[in-house]
Structures are given as structure tokens and as C-alpha cells.
Amino acid sequence: MKKKIAIRLEDKNKWERRVALIPEHIMELNKEFGIEFIVQPSSLRIYSDNEYKKANAIISDDVSTADIVIGVKEMPIDFYEENKTYIMFSHTIKGQSYNIDMLKRLIELKVNLIDYETIVDENNKRLIFFGRYAGLAGMIETLYAYGQKLKLMGYYTPFEKIKQAYEYESLEQAKAEIKIIGEEIEENGYPSDIAPLIVGFTGYGNVSRGAQEIFDLLPFKIISPYIIDVNYENFTNDNYNIYKVIFKEEDLVQLKEEYRVEENKKPDYSDDNMHNQKFDLQDYYDNPYKYESKFETNLKNLSILVNCIYWTEDYPRLVTKEYLKRDTIIRSNLNLKVVGDISCDINGSIEITKEATMPDKPSFTYFAKEDRYEDGVSRLGVTVMAVDNLPCEFPKESSMAFSEVLKDFINGIASADFDANFDELDLPEPIKKGLILQNGQFTKDYEYMKDFLK
């Protein structure tokens, strides 16, 4: 007998308009597999109740008869019911303190928990994600903040024409308008006083690629991380291009001195090839305590930093308050004007990210010398864009892309017998990898999470 699936309304905040399964795909699954869907009514959701009704879904607040409940974000702690299956971004795999009580409740209720963040292929690459849209919206918000900051500094530039992501009718419209701004820069340039304009991207995954997709609509040149410092003066006369730098792990960190095989040997940054020293990426992942940040060498030359990396407390920070204070004292003003912290780890890889923000108040500014903050974009200081639900700014496009992948796994989940032994559990392999709890017990790959409960 086919299981019933519920689509829960999203109510974490007023900006959350996304949905994990769109009406078109619900109709497909109903017709092809006979799966029944119950959709909780929502006036906020980007797709209307009527659209789901036309897709043969039942519209009802009561989802108690559903065996499987699908959401985007985590659900209120009193919503969960015993022995059900929940699919969502649970925000628990890093031991997030704000969801520990929820995790304990899910264990107590003996539920099955599938987390989108842990659904991966044979190469451990995530399959179901909003990352590209976080990058797209995050880059637009970052450029918006930069344009506003330049305006406060007395510079009138094409960047000030960039709007916030949610103010565009669609992603297509946003791209079209930013492309026109790029053409204006290509023709007329930007004030020579702010050249060179160097934008650094940390990371090279889906989020970073989404951010670069927007950035690449502007006139740009790519430069290597290892030539910024030594060749900085060569870029100062170019105010018709924006310089783009992509930082990988080997560009961000280095072994601490006590772990270096050849002590006192310093890398020669004058030639790309000379920098091609052995960097053991897996060792960095396995033993992050052996590494320290070396990012400050290049940070001082960036105008904008777009942070797109995965980070936990085990890894070194890239931007610290100590460094910013030191650099502020050395210079009369920092080169670094804006940080687009798309990763948005509070006090994380970007230590000055003090809180997550919302699209209507996307930024705050940090003043390193005084170690203080102001809301919004300020003329001085480092402005941080820290919206943590960026895909919400393009809710329809991001929902469509997400649902397109998720729908292919739904029948496998609906057909599974979660009472079977894990080894015999018949689930699509990526979903099995994403199963954190089975009947309230941590599956093998997630037993480390027991430590979070202590």
C-alpha cells in the first residue's frame, strides 16, 4: 500500500516562500505511482493552494494521516509525531545548539530523519541543494551593498543601480539588468580612485559557481591568488575591469610550523609554478588542527570577499577581528569594503559575522578599531552581507530546480520499509546515505552525533 506524503507549510520566517515539491511534480508522482499528497494551506508559499489542488493534492491543515512529511526548513518541536518519516534541512549535523532539543525529540519519537544536506552520490557530492541560488542571490546582495557603500563614500558608480535580489521580478530580469550595468562599466569604467577592484571567492562548489554566474556578467579578468600581492600595483591603472580571484583550500591554509616537513622553507609567490607544492587536501579534511590560515596575505588587497566555503569550528578562521584591527591601524582605511558571507556561519570562518540577517535588513558594518557594529551599510568599516536564506529571494526558480531532483527519489522513499534492518533497507542509495535517524537510532555514518546530545 502506497504511503501518504504531506507537504508542510513553511513558517520559519516571512521570507520562506520555497517548497520542496512543486505542483507539477506532485501531479506526476500521483499519476505515475498513485502516491497521495496532503498539502498544508499557505498564503505565503510561492505556489498557491489552488495550484496544488489542481495537481490532485488534498489541501488540509491536518497531516496526521501522512506517513512521510516533507519540508524545506526544520519544523516546530511540537509538530513531530511518533514513527513518521521527516525530510528536511534539519540543521543538526554540525551539532547546531539551537536544534539539539529538536534532535532529542526526534529520537524520543523514534522517527526516520532524512536530511537534504547529507544526500550524496558515490563521490560524496550533494545531489539536492539550493546552493546555486544562494550564490546567485548572495552575489547580487553583495554587489548591492558595495554600490551603496561607494555612494556613501562619495562615488557615484553603475553599482548603485543594482537592486536587492528580491526586488527583481525574476532571476532572468536580474541577470539582464546586471548585464547592462556590466556593459556600462566596460564602456565608461568606474572611478579610478577605487581601482583596482579585486573580488575574491572562497570555494569552488555550487554556491561559489552561482555567485560567479552573476559576477561574470560584469567585465572581468581572472588572476591567480599567488600574484595579487606581488603584482598589485600593476592592476591599479585598470578601472574598466574587475579582477576575479578564486581561492581553494591550498590558497587559504597551510600546515602549522610544527607539522611542516621542511621547516623554515617559505613558498615563493613570484611564480605560479613555484607555489605548486604538495597540499594534502584529505589530510586537511581529516586533521584540520594541523593547519592555520594564510589568507591574510591576500585579504589585504581584496575590495570584496565572497565567502562560499563549508566550515566548522575545527577549521581555522579566514577573517579574524585581530587581523582587521591590525590592518586598520597600519592603514588609514581598509581595502576590504564588503564581505558577502554567503556561508553565514555565526562567528565562523568570517569572525565578524555576528548574526544572520534577513533580506529587508541584509547588512551590518564592523568597525575593527573600536570592535563595534552598526546596522546597515556605513561609509567606513567592513560591511557584512549575512542573509542566511538567500534562495528565498528567488523562490520560484529555486523551488523548481530543487523539486526537479527530489521528485526522482520520492517513490523509492514512499515504498521503503523503514522497519527493515539498515543493511537490508531498500532505499535509493543517495537517500540511504542521507538517513540520519532510523526509528530514532543514529545510522552508522551519524553515530558521531551522539556526542552532541551530551
Chosen domain end from 393, 419, 437:
393
Select the more confidently predicted residue: 328 or 39. Answer: 39
438 and 376 in a single domain? The answer is no
Structural domain of 66: 4-129+395-453
pLDDT score, position 145: 98
Asked if residue 275 has pLDDT above 70, the reply is: no
Rounded mean pLDDT, 352-370:
96
140 and 124 in a single domain? The answer is no
Question: CA-to-CA distance for 371 and 112, rounded, in angstroms?
Answer: 45
166 and 282 in a single domain? The answer is yes
Strand partners, 340: 306, 385
pLDDT score, position 331: 66
Select the more confidently predicted residue: 2 or 266. Answer: 2
Output 327-336 pairs: Cβ under 8 A, ≥24 positions apart. Answer: 327/300, 327/368, 328/368, 328/369, 329/369, 333/380, 334/300, 334/368, 334/382, 335/300, 335/301, 335/302, 335/303, 336/299, 336/300, 336/302, 336/303, 336/304, 336/305, 336/382
pLDDT tens digits, one per residue of 417-432:
999 999 999 999 999 9
Lowest mean pLDDT among 73-77, 227-231, 396-400: 227-231
Return the CA Rg of the chain.
24
pLDDT score, position 260: 86
pLDDT score, position 196: 94
Percent of the chain with pLDDT over 90: 87
Rounded mean pLDDT, 215-235:
90
329 and 435 in a single domain? The answer is no
CATH code of the domain covering residue 19: 3.40.50.720
263 and 322 in a single domain? The answer is yes
pLDDT score, position 135: 98
Instruction: Indicate the angle between helix axes 206-215 and 171-188, nearest 10 degrees.
Output: 50
pLDDT score, position 270: 45
122 and 135 in a single domain? The answer is no
The H-or-E segment that residue 51 falls in is helix 49-54
Give the model's confidence band at 273: pLDDT under 50 very low, under 70 low, under 90 confident, else very high. very low
Asked if residue 271 has pLDDT above 50, the reply is: no
Rounded mean pLDDT, 151-175:
96
pTM of the model: 0.89
- Domain count within the chain: 2
pLDDT score, position 264: 46
pLDDT score, position 269: 45
